[in-house]
Amino acid sequence: MQISIKEIKNNIEPSYYKRGVDYYSARRVLNYQEKELYDDNDLLYINIVSTVRGSGGCVYSQDIDIYMDIDTIELVIEGSCSCPVSYNCKHVAAVCISYRTDSMSSQIAKLGGKIIIPSHTNTSLVDNWLKNLKKSTSKDTQKESKTNIQNRDYFLTYRLDGLKSNDRNRVYFYKSKILKDGSISRGTKLDENNIGHSYTNRELKNSEDENILKMTDAFIVND
């Protein structure tokens, strides 16, 4: 079952979600195990059992159910936690973000035909993504792409991560061009929530960009 950042934010209070992003970025999700189950009405739901390192070194346990409400047709997240807040807290948010990211990594693996180790094993999802990206294009295609870029006025550039902890595993998009000295301009930052749509900035994107944009969704956790 796939979940989106919007669905996580719809179920968890903004302040807890924001702290959950920080906890996820700081890799405080120690581990989790998910399994597909069926309720009494034979409807599928996801159960996640996890542990998260909290403040002061305390380790809290979570038991999270994710299911679709058949009346409202909306995804519901019900997460209990051993922390003082006890329900849909920042620890639950961090686990849900981690689960969502790992689910996206499975899609990336299908696109690239490679095996990607889930992020909750403490292997950087960014590192795996870069390895797949490097292997996905032949040298001849890379040479052709470089020539095409040099012949275009503007093109997309991608920047991974940032200096702040809550920028970890983030992708930023810029409208850039080749300068007279042969270097790439810093560029103009683009809206990360809209760049993936096929109808936006079409003049900047080629077929490779479209594939890359599908892959980058795994790193956008603040949309």
Same domain flag for 80 and 143: no
Same domain flag for 94 and 158: no
Q: Which CA distances in Å does 199 have to 26, 64, 195, 203?
A: 35, 37, 9, 10
Please work out, in degrees rounded to the nearest 5, the angle formed at the alpha carbon of residue 156 by the alpha carbons of 108 and 201: 95
| Residue 132 belongs to some domain of the structure | no
Same domain flag for 37 and 98: yes
Which two three-digit tokens encode residue 46? 């996801």
Last residue of a domain, one of 55, 85, 105: 105
| Residue 121 belongs to some domain of the structure | no
Block means of pLDDT (10 residues each) for the chain, 223 residues, are 87 94 91 88 90 91 93 91 95 93 67 48 51 56 54 72 51 79 79 62 68 58 47
Same domain flag for 177 and 95: no
| Residue 205 belongs to some domain of the structure | yes
| Residue 130 belongs to some domain of the structure | no
Q: What is d(CA 220, CA 186) in angstroms, rounded to the nearest whole number?
A: 21
For 222, which DSSP code? -
Structural domain boundaries, residue 141:
137-219
Same domain flag for 79 and 141: no
| Residue 127 belongs to some domain of the structure | no
Residue bearing tokens 């993936």: 196
Same domain flag for 31 and 100: yes
**What domain count does the chain have?**
2
Q: Which CA distances in Å does 186 have to 30, 82, 119, 171?
A: 37, 46, 30, 15
| Residue 99 belongs to some domain of the structure | yes
Same domain flag for 142 and 101: no
The upper half-sphere exposure of residue 29, i.e. CA atoms within 13 Å in the direction of its Cβ, equals 33
- CA 77 and chain centroid, separation: 18
Question: How much is the pTM?
Answer: 0.56
Give the closest residue to 213 by CA, choosing from 107, 113, 135, 123.
107
Same domain flag for 76 and 151: no
| Residue 115 belongs to some domain of the structure | no
Which two three-digit tokens encode residue 201? 């900035």
| Residue 128 belongs to some domain of the structure | no
Supply the pLDDT for residue 187: 82
Which two three-digit tokens encode residue 95? 């686990």
Same domain flag for 28 and 95: yes
